[in-house]
Structure 1
């Protein structure tokens, strides 16, 4: 009996890496099409329980398509309206506080001169706090998302097609043919469930944080508190760095409006709200739905933001869960990879934390 020759690991790794680079480059080039399609997929998964509930209650067939589609359209139109208003207000705000910022620069230079610090060093630091640049970056983020949502025709057509095919796809996934590929079907089921759970929990706690942020900004008399609350809600979906993105504009406005004291109070309020809601309470409800370690989550954010822009940053977690389902969870021999990317030992299809060393 002859032994099968195994391919050396190094060529396999190199070929997989090359294939990933080519695939991601293709996705980036076709991002104007693939981005809206992936957004449509995530939205359809988010409203899928509505279709399932209507089907269990024996609702007419047309309602199984119309109800999820109407809800998705309402979400899309609301996002477009909010993003358009936010981009317009951010553009106006950048020019409104130019004079206050110039006065602040003069005060800082005078204070630095009394301390013996040259204007050149001060100017280098102040350039990084230029409100025009900061608001321009945030406005570019909103405009980039608005550009994706403006492809409403593509998104609506894809959502409609997915809603029409939802029943057929469910039948296929429960058929005998699918049972022969049970690992893949199970992985896709976990992806859909975990994505819905992540979106629901993140949205609920994002709204809680946004409301508390708006109240704090209103009490501190920071301009446009509702706008910054909406920004905090959107950036809540951006893992790891979203909180910082949502904090910078109101903190800078607090500095220009009420001085350093107001800026410090804004930062303290944001950190306190974020720590209590998103660091202490939210993980208890989210549990292991994400299944990605902190390092993998950060790398996913950088990767998908590079490939799909602002939309990739917002959908970094769902897209990473999809990639994990297709490439890792569907392969019985890939459990060791699942353990690496989740930081937990995978045993019998379940994740468990590694035992502490004795």
Structure 2
């Protein structure tokens, strides 16, 4: 019994002990890095399997972006959009035709010039046989090796491989020309579409804009350096008395678009002509002088300037060449920096977690506003 004056002692209710917050399960950082590397390698291998489709499309995008300033200028002076787009298409076509015609002219000039040096070729052939005999290789053994190398089966195999490569090249060019036409024609309505995208996704537009500006600067730098290298080669080859110096200088301009290794292709024809026309000493001087000019300009100076123009470090520029040449073939070497810039601006820059990667591969160049930014206006860009 409890008296009225006795208060009931309330036993405090036991408060439930809060359970510790569940920690989110995460993979170890080392495993994440390894899986990312494996995924990147897998993507590159897949790209190598579809390079015949990806390469002409991406090259066409690059060329259309490169001539976009011309199209924008024609629109500013009052030209109809169809006329501006058609001018862009014709400009790209003219550039490609001139490029491939210069390659054809170089090869045709070499083929036409070689018969005039048949006596020198025969003398060089005899000298080689004498040198082989000095090494203990008889003339019969040398001829046997030559006959096996130029047997009907070997020639048929070489012709079949050449025909296959020619068919692939023609298919590549046909795809490239069609892609360029439709991309340039579709660019007539690009400003309106970009404005609609920027209204909801301005970050994507800024990334594409920076990519376009970098691609334009890259092609300008590659063309300017090609002209400089071509002029220096013309002076050097003319001074050494190499036949067809203008042809080889033009060929050097074409091969300059292949960074770092293009001069290896360009040095072979002038060295051969110097050997037949002027002897081994002149050929050696030609190879050394040509290689020094092209290696210094193309492999040392140009990657630094092109990397600064695009916004990546020289090491990134060189590694890009190796990676994209593996993924996209020989044309991948030409598209190495634009491809790296596309990955950076469209995949790395929008992700804050990958900001350290952008800082690692980027130099101090700040992104510049490209043609898309000027088309959609600063108000949309700043959202």
Asked if 1:69 is matched to 2:86, the reply is no
Alignment equivalent of 1:4, drawn from 15, 24, 40? 24
Alignment equivalent of 1:57, drawn from 77, 96, 99? 77
Q: Matches of residues 311-326 of structure 1 in structure 2 within 5 Å?
A: 311-326=331-346
Deviation track 1:92-117 (CA, whole Å, cap 9, x = no partner) reads 7788868745644654786899xxx8
Asked if 1:260 is matched to 2:260, the reply is no
| CA-CA distance at 1:209 after TM superposition | 1.7
Asked if 1:187 is matched to 2:207, the reply is yes
| CA-CA distance at 1:242 after TM superposition | 2.0
Higher mean alpha-carbon deviation, 32-41 vs 263-272, is at 263-272
Residues 302, 284 of structure 1: alpha-carbon distance in 2 compared, 3 angstrom cutoff? closer
Asked if 1:160 is matched to 2:178, the reply is no
| Distance in structure 1 (CA, Å) of the matches to 2:167 and 2:77 | 37
Residues 198, 2 of structure 1: alpha-carbon distance in 2 compared, 3 angstrom cutoff? same
Give 1:25's aligned residue.
45
Asked if 1:197 is matched to 2:217, the reply is yes
Q: SS where residue 26 of structure 1 aligns?
A: helix
| Distance in structure 2 (CA, Å) of the matches to 1:270 and 1:83 | 18
| Distance in structure 2 (CA, Å) of the matches to 1:336 and 1:246 | 39
Residues 93, 76 of structure 1: alpha-carbon distance in 2 compared, 3 angstrom cutoff? same
Check conservation: 1:223, 1:253, Cα contact below 8 A: yes
TM-score (norm 1): 0.74
Residues 333, 145 of structure 1: alpha-carbon distance in 2 compared, 3 angstrom cutoff? farther
Q: Matches of residues 74-223 of structure 1 in structure 2 within 5 Å?
A: 74-88=94-108, 100=120, 103-104=123-124, 107=127, 118=135, 147-148=168-169, 151-175=172-196, 177-178=197-198, 181-223=201-243
TM-score (norm 2): 0.70
Q: SS where residue 288 of structure 1 aligns?
A: helix
Aligned length: 329
Check conservation: 1:210, 1:232, Cα contact below 8 A: yes
Check conservation: 1:55, 1:64, Cα contact below 8 A: yes
Q: Which of the pair has more CA radius of gyration?
A: 2
Higher relative contact order (CA 8 A, sep 6+): 2
Segments of structure 1 that go 5 or more residues without pairing to the other structure are 133-139, 351-358
Q: SS where residue 289 of structure 1 aligns?
A: helix
Check conservation: 2:307, 2:317, Cα contact below 8 A: no
| Distance in structure 1 (CA, Å) of the matches to 2:115 and 2:340 | 38
RMSD of aligned Cα (Å): 4.0
